[in-house]
Homo-oligomer: A and B are copies of this chain.
Amino acid sequence: MNKPVAVDPADVRPYHHGDLRRALILAAERILEREGPQALSLRAVAREAGVSPAAPYHHFKDKSDLLNAIAEAGFEALGEAIKGAVAADTEAKMHTMGVAYVKFARENPALYRVMYDCSRAQDGMPDKTHGEGGGFHLVEQAMIRAGIDPSNQVDLKLWCISAWCSAHGVAEMVGFAQFKPMIDELGGEDRFIEELMSRVCHSPSSDL
């Protein structure tokens, strides 16, 4: 008899058919990138993972349960993107973080869609987003650096939320094709994002 051949642990399918849960999430992300959010059906994910339509139900309660897993990973990636931008900017300004946020959304539009569709269906963004390494936490620190008094917790949180809202709004709308003329006039979407972000981060007068 052959003893089990020594295989790369990455190739091992430890269970029945492998580590589905993970495989399903990966398959879903693949579909998301390739065909967009409206093509992301449970059956399509199962198909992509090479498994029957009912199989996912042993790893996810629901379709929305799968979506939530994807969304959570998305928010984590978003946090990483922001962190990366902060690390590259010695001043670690809100503006920098905002631009990183919007660019992440633009580079992963389908994922970003799932992230906020889930947030709306759930109670909001995943808890981890507000935790130690999460994106929201980074915003808090930047706000404090920008001069917001951290002893007034409510005020600080309000500033963070309002900033996050603005970034989200920009992220959802930069893609509107109706802005294309303006984008061309400015010389590219990156410039457009910069211009919007600097206005969001700094109002021209106090009586707006």
Contacts and interface: CB of A to CB of B under 8 A. Distances in A.
A195 B165 contact: no
A99 B109 CA distance: 28
Copies of this protein in the assembly total 2
Interface stretch (A4-12, A75-83, A146-154): A146-154
The secondary-structure label for the interface of chain A is helix
A204 B163 CA distance: 12
Interface residues of A, number: 49
A32 to B, nearest CB: 15
Contacts of A55: none
A187 B125 CA distance: 22
A103 interface: no
Contacts of A161: 173, 179, 182, 196
Contacts of A18: none
A191 to B, nearest CB: 11
A170 to B, nearest CB: 4
A124 interface: yes
